Amino acid sequence: MAIEVFSRVEQKYLITENQFKALKPLIEQNMDADIYNKDGQTYPIFNIYFDTPSNELIIRSLEKPVYKEKLRLRSYGKAGREDTVYFEIKKKFDGIVYKRRTPMTYREAEAFMNARTEPVNTELNRQVFNEIKDLMERYELTPKVMISYDRFAFFGKNDSDFRLTLDKNIFTRREELDFDSAPHGKSLLNEGEWLMEAKGTNSFPLWFVHFLSQNKINQNSFSKYGNEFLKYNK
């Protein structure tokens, strides 16, 4: 079963295709691929983000408060009605990210989104689900935007807590908010650009820090939902 509750430090970077190519041999030497990266290929991720009618959550997030939270529904690729999807609460407090999530079928997720019908499956993390339900009721949240992308994900060979993800083809749309369609919409990245995220519970390994320094790559506060809102909806 997927990890349902965890906390970590996350740092984001925008890198070029050439920087990605320079990073690949270091990744092969120091990291193992995620189980979703089959045959060295990226895998698709679909996220439906929730917000209030006045976009209260994303507006507050863009103000960079000490504490902020987001709610999303995630699928690893297109989903049939009985496929597993994940409701996730992502909170950030004082630079530390806390993510809590619970699985359910896509059919159960739709019933909960549309009619607040509670799932009855045994895989449900009831504590996390109650927190999600409280958040939706407190803010009157509804689905607002779909963000999809292709991802490489890796875990450190010597430190499994160190995780590196690289996303490209980040598309966003505010219609067809479902997991039935192939990725499409407006692009959030420039041609040949990758969004890289380094995630860990402690400091990052030296080989990665040296790579950032040698290639003059600086930390970036890029937020997929935040950039979607600023770029297309202000």
Cα angle vertex 91, ends 105, 96, to 5°? 130
The number of domains in the chain is 1
pLDDT at 92: 87
Strand pairing partners for 90? 70, 99
First vs last Cα of the chain: how many Å apart?
39
Per-residue b or e along 39-72, where b marks 16 or more CB atoms closer than 10 Å to that residue's CB: eeebbbbbbbbbbbeebebbeebbeeeeebebbb
Per DSSP bridges, beta strands 163-173 and 194-200 are antiparallel
* Calpha distance 20→22 (Å, rounded): 5
Task: Express each pLDDT in 103-142 by its tens digit.
Answer: 999 999 999 998 899 988 777 888 999 999 999 999 999 9
CATH number of domain containing 190: 3.20.100.30
Q: 10-residue block means of pLDDT along the chain (234 residues)?
A: 62 97 97 88 96 95 92 95 95 86 94 90 86 94 96 94 96 94 92 95 91 96 94 77
pLDDT at 1: 37
| 23 close to 211: Cβ distance less than 8 angstroms | yes
Nearest alpha-carbon partner for 51 in 148, 145, 152: 145
Look up the pTM and report it.
Answer: 0.92
The parent domain of residue 111 ranges over: 5-232
- Round to whole Å and give the CA distance between 10 and 201: 9
